[in-house]
Chain A
Amino acid sequence: PTFRRESQTHTIGDFSPQIQEYAIIEELLYVLTGIDGVYIKFIYPKSLSQDESMDEHTSEITPDANAWNAIKYDIDPTLDPSLKHLVEKLLPLATYYMSVEAFVNLCSRYEYGTINHALCSGIRVFIKEYLTFMAQLEHQFQTSTRFTLQRLWFYAQSTLQNMKVLHDLAMAIRAIQIPPKHDEEEDFDAVIEGLQKEEVSDEIHIPEERKGGAILNILSERLIGLSGDPNCKKMYTYLLSEAAVPYFEILNAWIYHGEIKDPYNEFMVLEKRNVKKENLKEDFNDTYWEMRYTIREGGVPIFLETMKNQILLAGKYLNVVRECGVNIANPEEMQNEMSGLTQELNINSERGNGPFMSTRSEVWAAVDGSRFVKNLQVAYKYANQTLLNLLMEDQQLIGRLRSIKHYFFLDQSDFLTSFLDLAKDELKQPASKIPQNRLQSLMDLVLRNPSSVAAYDPFKEDVKVCMSHFRLIDQLLCIINPSGIEGGVKDPRVDTFERSQSLSSSTLTSAIPTSTADLSGFEALILDYTVTFPLSLIISRKALTKYQLLFRHILNMKHVEDLLCNAWMEQKNVIWKTRSRNPEIEQWKFKIFSLRNRMLTFVQQFAYYVTNEVLEPNYRRLETNLTSISTVDQVLQFHSDFLDTCLTECMLTNSKLLRIFNKLIGSCLQFAAQAENYTELLTHLEQEQRIGRFGLPNAGIADTSSSVFESSMRMLLKMEEAFLYHMSLLIEALNYYSAAETVQFLCLVVRLDYNQFYNNNVTRPSRQR
C-alpha cells in the first residue's frame, strides 16, 4: 500500500493535552489488539521478529524463551510525560495479548497434540473475551466524552490480570527445558520405528516435554502453586479441565478397551509396535510383556502418578484379552459386572489412603471429579478378572502347568522310563549323531501309548524332544557367573532383567563349543514344549529354559541311578555271591559293594530330595497360590518365584555346590563305567583261583593278573576317597549355605548323612593321599 508516511510531519506533542489523550487512547486500542500504531510502535527483539517472520516449519517456539518479555515500545517522545507513564503501564497488556495469541496460533497446529489443542481452545475463550472487551472500550471511547486514559486503566484491571495469567502460562510452557536427547536409545528406537513407517521423518517432531502429560503437569502445578489468587485459580481450573478432556479420552480408551488412540504421542503409555507377540516364542527375554507397553516417564501427569502402574496394567491386560479375540465389555457392563466386587474394591483400593486423599485435591476437581479413580478401579478389576479367566479357564493354566510338571519334573514319569528304554541305543551315541526325528517319533510312540499316564494328558502333543548343545553344568555356570545372583537380593526387576540377559547370553556362548564334541545323548537330551500366545506370557522361553534346566538335572540323576542299579544287578551274579577263597578279593568285593551302595544312596536320596522335598512342595505351594490370586502379575510373580526357588533349592544357582555335585556325579559315572570291568576281572580272578586249585597249590593271585588287580584296587580306593572327600565337602557346604541361602538344604544334609556316617567317618575333609 502506498501510504505516504513522509507527509506525517506532525508529532503528537504539537497537540493540546486533551487531543493528545484522545489520540493516544485511539492509538492504544489498536496497539492492544496487536496492531502497530502511529505513535506507539512495537520493537520486537531480534529472535522474536525472526520467529514471526519465519514460519510454520521452525518447530522451536523461540530459541530464547524470554523474548516475549523483551518486547519494547517506541512511544512518541513528545507525548505528555504523565500520559506516557500511564500508557507505559498499560502496554504490557499488548505484550500479553501478542504473546498469548502467538502461543495459541502455534500450539493449535496438529503436531502439538490434542492436549495443547484443547488448552488453546480454552485460552481462545479468554482471547475472545479480551477482544470483546476491546470493542467495548472502543464503544465507550466513542460514545462517552468522559472516557479518559485513567478510566481505561481502571477498566482494564481485571483483563490485565487475566491476560497476565495466560501470558505467564504461555511463558512457562515456552520455558520448558528440553533435555538433550540420549542419542543411542532414542536413535535405536527411531531407527526401528523408522524402518516401519518412513513418512514420519517429514513430520515435525515436538518433544514430549512440550505436549501431552507435561502440559497437564504444568497446569496442575500452577493451579496448586498459584491457587492463592481466587481468580487465577478459577482460570487454571477452567484451563486444566479443558485441557484434560482429550487426555482422559485417550486414558479411557486405554483402560476400557486396551487401545492406544494417540496419534501425537502424548499418552503416558508408550506402545512399541515392533515388539510383537509372535517373537515371544523365540525370544529369550520375554520382552513382550515388559516392553510392548511402557510408561513414558516424562509424560505422566502428576495427579496420575500414584496410579500409573494400575493404569498401565489395566490397559495391558485388556490388550492381551483383545488380542486373544475375546470381546471386551462396555464401561457400563464392566460397572455392572464388577458391582458385585465393590465391597472388595473398597478394601483393596490402593493400599492406604494416599491416592484417595490426593484425588480430593483441586486438580482432581478440575479434571474429572474423583470419578476417574473409581472408574479405573472398576476397569482394572475387570481387566484383571477377564485376563485371569482367560488364562485360568480358557487356557487352563493350571492344567498346563501340571502337564509341564509331568514332563519336566517327571512326576508321573512312566513315559520317560519307556522312552529311555526305547531310545537307549540312540542316546548312547554322541549327541551330534543322533537323528532327532527318530527320537521324536519314539517319544510320540511313548506318549501315545495308551498304557502310559501321559496318554490322558490333553497337551501331550506339545512335547518335543531336542538336543542341547552344551552341558548342563556349563550352561548353569554360564548363567551364574555373569549375573551374580549370589550377590544378595536386589530389586527383583533388575534381578530378572539380569537373569534374562544372562539366559540369552548363555545362548550366545553356545556358539563357542567348549565341550560339544563329547556330549552324549543322555547329557544332551532336553524336552521342549510348545506354548501358544496368551500362555506364553507366563510360560515364556525364559521360564521354559528354567524348566529344562531342572529337567536335565533330574534326568541326569535318573540316568546315574539307572547305571548304578545296573551295576548292582550285575553284582548280584553268582560269581559275586560266592565267597572267594582269597581274602583280598573278598575285601575288594566288599569295597566295591559299599562304595556302590553309598553312591546309590547318594543319588537316590538326592533325587528324592529334589523331587519330593523341593519340586513337589513348591509346586503345591504354587498351585494353592494360583487358586487365590487376583492379578495377572501375581501369577507371573508366583510362577517365576516358584522356578527360582526350585532352582535355588536344587543347588543349581550356586556355583560351588554345583561343582561339588558335578564331581560326585562324575565319580558315580566313573564307577558305573568301571563296574563292567570289575565283573570281568572277578571272573578272570576266580578262574585263575580254580586253576590254581587243580594245578599248583597257589593260594595267591597269579602274577599277571595281580598287577591288574592291584591297579584296580588302587583305582577303587582313589574313587572311594574322592567320593568321601567330596561328600563331606558337599555336606559342609550345604551346612554353610543352609544358613546363608535356604534352610531347605538342611533336609538334604539329613538325608545324605542320616546316620552321621560322613560326619563321624571323615571329620575333616582333608584329602589323604
Chain B
Amino acid sequence: QRSDVSSVYVTESDLLRDLIFIFQGIDGQYIKFNPELNDYSLVSGISVSKPMEEMVFKLADIGWLYIKIRKFVQLNVDNSNIGLVGQSLCAALQHELTEYYKLIAILEAQIEKQIADKSLPNDQQSLTLKRLMVWTLDCTQKLRLMSILVDVCQDKKGGALMTTIHNYTKHGDPFFRKYLTEMLQVVSKPFYEMLARWVYEGELDDPYGEFLVACDPTVSEEDLWQSKYSIRENMLPSFLSKELGQKIFAIGKSLNFIRYSCHDDTLVEQYYTTFNNNTAARLTFKYGETKAVEEAIDIAYMNTSKALLDLLKTKYKLMDHLKAMKRYLLLGQGDFIQYLMDVLGENLSKPATTLLRHNLTGILETAVRSSNAQYDDPEILNRLDVRLLEIQNNDLGWDVFTLDYHVDAPINTVFSPVAMLQYLQIFNFLWRLKRVEYTLSASWKKWGKASREFANVTDIRQDLHFAQLTIQRMVHFIYQLQHYVLFEVLECSWDKLETFIENKSIDLDSIIETHLNYLSEITEKGFLSGTKEIALSGRLNNIFDSILRYKVALDHLHEYATSESAKMIFGKTGSSDKISLIRHHQQEKEDDFTIQVLEFLNILKSYHDEDLRSLSTRLDYNDYYSSFKITPQTP
C-alpha cells in the first residue's frame, strides 16, 4: 500500500505475471530463485505488503515442485539406465506436465489480458493472488504427488519401481489413489507387455533387467531348464504374489524349453493366432486387474505345463525311459541280468586290466538278444551300454563293470548328471549284491553235490555239513537283504514315482524333483547315502567281502576233499595238518561273517525306522543271532 523512498512499489498483477514465470521454472522480475536457500525470494529493493509476500511464497512452491519434476524428467529421459518402466514414468510425468502447461497458458492469457486492459480492472474474470490460489489448488496437489514419486523413484527400475509406486497408492484419499493408480497403470505398461510376451511367447525383451525373470545368455541349451533363467526377487512387484511370480517364471521357462529343447512351436503359434484375432485377452495384462492377471496366468500355466508334460511323455517317452532305467540299471529285468551274469561271470573274475570294452559290449548284445529284453524298443536298447570304471590296483572285473544308459536332450533335463550318478551308485550296489548272491548259489549247488561226492571221506563229513549250514545262513542273509532292497525300497519308491507322474505331476520341475526324491530315497534306504550310509554301508561291504572270502576258503576245502577222495581210492590218508589249516581258515571266515552280521544287526536295531524294523526282524526272525551275546567267538 505504501512505498518507501528506497523501494519500488510492486502491484499485484506484476507479481502475478512473475508467478506465471515462476510456475514454469523461470525467474521473474521480482521473484527469483535463490539456490542457497533452495527457495524463492523477492529481489531486494521492492516493497510488497507482508501478507502479499507470504501469499507469493505459498504460490511459489508450485514453481519449486515443477523444477524438481522437470529436472528429473530431463535427467532421465535420455538416460538409458533408467529402464523401460522408468522411461514410461518419465513419459507419464511429461504428459502430466503438458496438462500443467495448459493450465498455465490459460492463466497467462488471463493475466496478459488483464495487464493490457488496465483501464478495466474490475472485470469479472480478473485474476488475483487468491484466485490464483484457488485455481491452482488441484494442480498443486498433483505436483506434490509427482514430486513424491520423483523422490522415491530415484535409482529404481522395473518391478521395484512399480512396487514403490504401488505402496503409495495405499492412501485413503480417493483423489490420491485414483491419480496414482492411473499413473501406475501407464507406468507399468512396459512391464506388463514384457509379461505378456514372456508368458505367451517365452521371449524375454528386457534390455535393462527390469523383469522378474533374468536370463543368462551364456548358458547353453543343454542346461536351459536348470540354469538359464532365474528369478529376480526384487523385481517382482509387491502386488503380485510370490507364487504367481514362480508360476510366471515356470511358464516362460517351459515355453522356452518346448521351443528350444524340444523344437516344438505349436503352442506359441496357437497363442499367437488367438491373440491376433482377439486383442482383448492381451488387454487383461495391466495394473489394477490383479485378479484377471492371476487367472490368465493360471490358465497359461496349466496349458504350458500340460503341453510340456505331454510332449515329454509322448514324443520323448519319459515313462519308457524311467522304466528302462529301472529294468536295466536297477536290475528289474531279471532274465536279462541273470543271463548277463552267467555270461560275464568268467570274464569279470579276471583282473580288470585284462577286460576289453568291446568284448563286453558284445556280451551285452548277446544278453539282450537271448533274453526278453530283445522285445524292447530298439531306441531304448540302443542307449544301453557298458562302461568300465576307473581301474585301481588289484581290481577285478567285477569291481569296474557297470551298465550305462545314454540320455540326450531334452530328456537329460530329468536325467541330469547328478541323477545318473545316483543311478550308477545304485547299480553298483545292486550288482555287487547280485554277484554275492550269484556266487553263493553257485556254492550251494557245488556243495549239495559235494556232500554226496565226498561221502566216503569220513573225516571231513562234519566240515561238509558245517559248510552247508554256513552257506545257508549267508544265503538267508543275502536273500532277505535283496528282498528288502527290491521290494521295500525299489518297488515302493517306484510306485510313488509312477503314481505321481501319471496323476499328480503339474510341471516339469515337480517331475524333476520327484525323480530326484525317488533316487535319494532309494540311496538312503539302500544305505548308500545319508546317515545310515556311514554306519551301515561299510558293514555291508564287509559282509559281502567276508562271504566272498569264505567262498575262497570253501574252494580250498573242496580242493582238499577232491584230493582226499582221490587219495581214498588209492587208500592213502591225508595229512591232518592241511585239513586243520583249512578248517582254521574256514572257521575264521565264518566267525568274521557272524561278527559282521551281528554288528550290522546291532546298528540296524538302533534305528527307530519303520522300514528297517521289519528288515532286522526278518534277518533275525527266529532270534538266531540274538542268542549270540557280544562274544561271538563261540558260535
> B144 CB to closest chain A CB, in angstroms?
11
Question: Which of A2, A38, A121 is B173 in contact with, Cβ under 8 Å?
Answer: A121
Q: Known contacts A114-B171, A128-B137: does B130 contact A4 (CB below 8 Å)?
A: no
Q: Report Cα–Cα, A743/B51, bound state, in Å.
A: 88
Within 8 A of B (CB), among A210-250: 242, 245-246
Of B2, B41, B54, B128, which one neighbours A36 at CB under 8 angstroms? Answer: B54
On chain A, the residues within 8 Å of B122 by CB distance are: 142-143
A-facing mask of B120-164, CB < 8 A → 1, else 0? 011010101011011001000000000000000000000000000
Q: Is B4 an interface residue (CB 8 A)?
A: yes
Contact B50 A142 (CB under 8 A): no
User: Which listed residue (B51, B54, B172) contacts A118, Cβ 8 A?
Assistant: B172
Determine if A27 is an interface residue (Cβ-Cβ < 8 Å).
yes
Q: Which of these, B44, B47, B55, B176, contacts A30 with CB under 8 Å?
A: B55
Contacting pair A120 B134 (CB below 8 A): no
Instruction: For the complex formed, measure the closest distance between the CB of A330 and the CB atoms of chain B, giving whole angstroms.
Output: 9
Interface residues of A in 426-445 (CB under 8 A from B): 437, 441
For residue B216, CB closer than 8 A to chain A, the reply is no
Shortest beta-carbon distance from A3 to chain B in Å? 7
- Bound-state Cα–Cα, A36 to B44, Å: 21
CB of A599 within 8 Å of the partner chain? no
Asked whether B130 lies within 8 Å of A120 as measured between CB atoms, the reply is: no
Q: Is A365 an interface residue (CB 8 A)?
A: no
Contact (Cβ within 8 A) B170 A142: no
B430 is an interface residue with CB less than 8 A from chain A: no
Say yes or no: is A172 at the interface (Cβ < 8 Å to chain B). Answer: no
Whether A117 lies near B176 (C-beta < 8 A) is yes
Contact with A along B426-443 (1 / 0, CB 8 A): 000000000000000000
Q: How far is the CA of A389 from the CA of B533 in the complex (A)?
A: 48
For A597, list chain B residues within 8 Å (CB).
Answer: none
Closest Cβ–Cβ distance, residue A496 to chain B (whole Å): 36
A118 lies within 8 A of B128 (CB): no
List, in ascending order, chain A residues with CB within 8 A of B176's CB: 108, 117, 121
Q: Is A29 an interface residue (CB 8 A)?
A: yes
User: Smallest CB–CB gap between A487 and chain B, Å?
Assistant: 45
> Does residue A94 face the partner (Cβ distance < 8 Å to B)?
no
Q: How far, in angstroms, from A114 to B52 measured CA to CA in the complex?
A: 35
Tell me if A3 and B50 are in contact (CB < 8 A). yes
A135 to B134: give the CA distance in the assembly, Å. 8
Chain B residues contacting A114 (CB-CB under 8 Å) are 170-172
Say how far B548's CB is from chain A's closest CB, in angstroms.
34
Nearest CB in chain B to that of A19: its residue: B1
Contact B1 A121 (CB under 8 A): no
With A121-B173, A437-B613 as contacts: A131 and B133 at CB distance below 8 Å: yes
**B171 and A36 within 8 A (CB):** no
Within 8 A of B (CB), among A95-124: 108, 110, 113-121, 124
Bound Cα distance from A207 to B53, whole angstroms = 39
Interface pair B7/A4, CB less than 8 Å apart: yes
Does any Cβ of B come within 8 Å of A10's Cβ?
Answer: yes
- C-alpha gap A36/B41 in the complex (Å): 18
- B635 interface hit (Cβ, 8 Å): no
Write the nearest CB–CB distance from A433 to chain B, whole angstroms: 15
The CA-CA distance from A2 to B121 in the complex, in Å, is: 30
User: Which A residues touch B124, using CB under 8 A?
Assistant: 139, 143
Residue of B nearest to A113 (CB): B172
Given A36-B54, A118-B173, A441-B613, residue A142 in contact with residue B128 (CB < 8 A): yes
Q: Which single residue of chain A is at the shortest CB-CB distance from B608?
A: A437
| Shortest CB distance B209–A (Å) | 26
Contact among A38, A116, A245 with B49 in the assembled complex (CB-CB below 8 Å) = A38
Complex contact A10–B130 (CB within 8 A): no
Question: Chain B 325-341 against A: per-residue CB contact (8 Å), 1 yes, 0 no?
Answer: 00000000000000000
A2 touches B49 (CB 8 A): no
Query: B42 contacts the other chain (Cβ, under 8 Å)?
Result: yes
Interchain CA distance A124-B173 in the complex, whole Å: 10
Please state if A245 and B174 are interface contacts (CB–CB under 8 Å): yes
Check: A465 CB closer than 8 A to any chain B CB: no
Chain B CB within 10 Å, residue with most, of A1, A29, A120:
A1
The answer on a CB contact under 8 Å between A38 and B130 is: no
Instruction: Confirm or deny: A138 has a beta carbon within 8 angstroms of a beta carbon on chain B.
Output: yes
Given contacts A35-B55, A135-B133, contact A7 B4 (CB under 8 A): yes
Instruction: State the Cβ distance, A759 to closest chain B Cβ, in Å.
Output: 54
In the complex, A120→B173 CA distance in Å? 7
Contacts of A57-114 to chain B: CB distance below 8 A: 108, 110, 113-114
Q: Does A23 contact B (CB under 8 A)?
A: yes
B168: A residues at CB distance < 8 A: 110
Query: Is B172's CB under 8 angstroms from A132's CB?
Result: no
Indicate if the CB atoms of A2 and B128 lie closer than 8 Å. Answer: no
Q: Are B2 and A10 in contact (CB under 8 A)?
A: yes
Interface size on B, residues (CB 8 A): 40
Contact B121 A138 (CB under 8 A): no
A134–B608 CB distance below 8 A: no
A134 in contact with B130 given A4-B4, A118-B173, A128-B137 (CB within 8 Å): yes
Find the A residue at minimum CB distance from B138. Answer: A128
Inter-subunit contact B50/A36 (CB<8 Å): yes
CB of A2 within 8 A of CB of B174, answer no
- Which of B50, B51, B134, B171 contacts A131, CB < 8 Å? B134
Could you say which residues of chain B place their CB within 8 Å of the CB of A110?
168, 170-171
Task: Indicate which residue in B1, B42, B121, B131 contacts A135 across the interface (CB closer than 8 Å).
Answer: B131
B621 lies within 8 A of chain A by Cβ: no
In contact, A115 and B172 (Cβ under 8 angstroms): yes
A35 CA / B129 CA spacing, docked (Å): 13
Query: Is B275 close to A, CB under 8 A?
Result: no
Q: Are B134 and A128 in contact (CB under 8 A)?
A: yes
| A385 interfacial contact with B, CB 8 Å | no
CB neighbours (8 Å) of B121 from chain A are 142
A121 touches B174 (CB 8 A): yes
Q: How far is the CA of A110 from the CA of B152 in the complex (A)?
A: 14
Contact in complex: A37, B172 (CB < 8 Å): no
Which one of B6, B171, B174, B176 has the highest number of Cβ atoms from chain A below 10 Å of its Cβ?
B171
Say if the beta carbon of A180 comes within 8 Å of chain B: no
Judge whether B78 is part of the interface by a CB distance below 8 angstroms: no
A3 to B137, CA, bound (A): 28
Contacts of A138 in B (CB 8 A): 128, 130-131
Q: How far apart are the CA atoms of A570 and B425 in the complex, in Å?
A: 61
- Report B-chain residues with C-beta under 8 Å of the C-beta of A38: 49-51
**Contact digits for A1-27, partner B, Cβ 8 Å, 1 yes 0 no:** 111100110100000000000010001
Q: Mark A391-433, 1 if CB is under 8 A from B, else 0.
A: 0000000000000000000000000000000000000000000
State in angstroms the CA–CA spacing of A118 and B173 once bound together: 4
Contacting pair A117 B51 (CB below 8 A)? no
| A23 B54 Cβ-Cβ under 8 A | no
What B residues does A134 contact at CB under 8 A? 130, 134
Does B48 make an interface contact (CB < 8 A)? yes
- Chain B: minimal CB distance from A528 (Å): 16
Known contacts A120-B173, A128-B134: A30-B51 contact under CB 8 Å: yes
Give the distance in Å from the alpha carbon of A245 to the alpha carbon of B42 in the complex.
Answer: 44
With a cutoff of 8 Å between Cβ atoms, the chain A residues found around residue B126 in the complex are 139, 142
Contacts of B54 in A (CB 8 A): 30, 35-36
Residues of A within 8 A of B137 (CB): 128, 131
Given A35-B55, A108-B176, 15 extra CB contacts under 8 A: A4-B7, A37-B50, A108-B173, A110-B168, A113-B172, A114-B170, A115-B172, A117-B171, A121-B173, A131-B133, A132-B134, A142-B121, A143-B124, A263-B170, A437-B610
Residues on A lying within 8 angstroms of B by beta carbon are: 1-4, 7-8, 10, 23, 27, 29-31, 33, 35-38, 108, 110, 113-121, 124, 128, 131-132, 134-135, 138-139, 142-143, 242, 245-246, 263, 437, 441
21 contacts between A and B (CB under 8 A): A1-B41, A1-B53, A3-B53, A4-B47, A10-B2, A30-B54, A33-B130, A36-B51, A37-B51, A38-B49, A108-B173, A113-B172, A121-B173, A124-B173, A128-B137, A135-B130, A135-B133, A138-B128, A242-B174, A437-B610, A441-B614
The 4 closest A-B pairs by CB, nearest first: A114-B172, A117-B172, A30-B51, A121-B173
